[in-house]
Amino acid sequence: MKFKRVLGGENIRLLSVNDEQCKYDAIGNPLVYRNKICEWNRGRNLVNYNGVEFAYNGQGERTSKSANGATTNYNFKLFYA
């Protein structure tokens, strides 16, 4: 694999992977990664990547991932007990 990146201040951004360009929004979230679309809400919550959907709770913690009709749920109580 070939990677191109740019360094600037605190941001290190990947420009391409094997000549597939990466594009970013104003706060640094990737909008296109490896020619696949990324959708974001509430700043840094990824809600869709190439048809894979993500859900979050009120604290911004990812609670589930859905792809191809299957959903994986995340239980954070296991980590905070």
Full-model pTM? 0.75
pLDDT one-digit tens code per residue, 16-75: 888 888 888 988 899 998 889 999 998 899 999 999 999 999 888 899 999 999 999 998
Strand order in the sheet with 45-49: 23-24, 30-33, 36-41, 45-49, 52-56, 62-67, 70-73
Judge whether residue 80 has pLDDT over 90: no
The CA angle 64-17-4, to the nearest 5 degrees, is 120
23, 71, 73 from 26: Cα distances, Å: 10, 31, 30
Domain span at 72: 3-80
For residue 5, the number of C-alpha atoms closer than 13 Å in the C-beta half-sphere is: 7
Instruction: Please give the tally of structural domains in the chain.
Output: 1
